[in-house]
Structure 1
Amino acid sequence: MATQAFEDIADTFDFLDDWEERYRHVIELGKAMPPMDPALQVPATKVEGCASQVWIMPMIENGRFDFQGDSDAMIVRGLIAVLHALYSGVPVAEVGKIDAQAELARLGLDEHLSSQRSNGVRAMVQRIRQLSDAAA
C-alpha cells in the first residue's frame, strides 16, 4: 500500500550495506526537502511528543493528503521526508489504513532509532492521521 516514492526509498535502503549509510541517506532526504515557511512553524502545527521541534502543516488537494514539515534536527527532518514519501498523494480516506509501523520496519528504522526518536516518529504518524481524519 506504500506510495512509489516510499518504495523508491525502500529500494535504496536494500542497496545500502549498513545502518550508517542508511542513516546518512535519511539525513540527505531531509536536506533535499523544501524548507517550511517559518510563518507556518507555530503552535498549531507543532507536533507534541517529539524531543526535537517538529511542525507538520497539512495540504489537502483533490481529496489527496499532502503536508509540509520541518524540524530543527537533521535526522528528524529526514524522518519527516520518509513520512512524506509514505503519505504524500494518498487519498485522505486511505491515510489511516497505512500501517506506518510495518512500512518503516521494512527500512529497519524500528531497530536503529533510539526510543525517544521512535516515540517522536509515532507522534508524527499520529498527528498525520489526526490531520487526515479532520480533512475527511
Structure 2
Amino acid sequence: MNLPAGAEQALAAFGQCLGWEQRARLLMQWGGRLPALSEEERCEANRVHGCESQVWLVAERQEQCWQFRASSDARLLRGLLALLLARVNGLTGAQLAEIDLADWFGQLGLARQLSPSRSNGLNAVLQRMRELTRQPSS
C-alpha cells in the first residue's frame, strides 16, 4: 500500500533519530505543527471518548478521501496525533479500515513509548475516524 506523503516524511524524519530523546523532541515538533482547532470545533460532539487526555477530532471528506484534523490538551499526544494524521489523511474509508496502529508506530520507532493508556487513546481516535467515514454525509 502506498503511504501518503506525510507518512513518508514522518518515516524519513524518525528514521534518522538515534535515540528516544531525539524522537521525543521530533514528536513535540510534529505536535506543534498541528493546525489549531477553533473554539467551535473543540466541542463535545467532536471529543473522542476513551482518551485520558482531551482529544478533539474533525473529519472532512474530499471526493472519496478523508482529511482529519485533531487537537489535544496534552503535548506528547499532539505529536502522536500529528503522526497518526500523517498516516491517514488522504485515505479512503476502506484504506482507513486497514490501518494497523501498532505497526505504524513500530515503523516510526515509537512503539515502546506508547503506554497502554496512550495506545488505547490512539486506538479510540482511530476507531472514531472509522466511525466518521462510515456515516452518511450530511
Tell me the TM-score normalised to structure 1 length.
0.92
| Aligned: 1:117 with 2:110 | no
Please tell me whether the aligned partners of residues 92 and 135 of structure 1 are also in contact (alpha carbons under 8 angstroms): no
The CA deviation at 1:8 is 1.2
Which of structure 1's runs of 4+ aligned residues deviate more than 3 A? none
* Cα root mean square deviation, aligned: 1.5
2 CA distance for matches of 1:109 and 1:118? Answer: 11
Deviations 1:85-125 (A, max 9, x none): 01111123321122232122111222112221111111111
TM-score normalised over the length of structure 2: 0.91
Q: Is the 1:58–1:67 contact (alpha carbons within 8 Å) kept by the matching residues of 2?
A: yes
Q: Which runs of 5+ in 2 are unaligned?
A: none
Instruction: Number of aligned residue pairs: give it.
Output: 136
Partner of 1:63: 64
C-alpha contact 1:60 1:135 (8 A) present in aligned 2? no
Greater helix fraction, Structure 1 or Structure 2? 1
Q: Hey, what's the Cα distance between the residues in 2 that align with 1:79 and 1:97?
A: 19
Q: SS in structure 2 opposite 1:66? A: strand
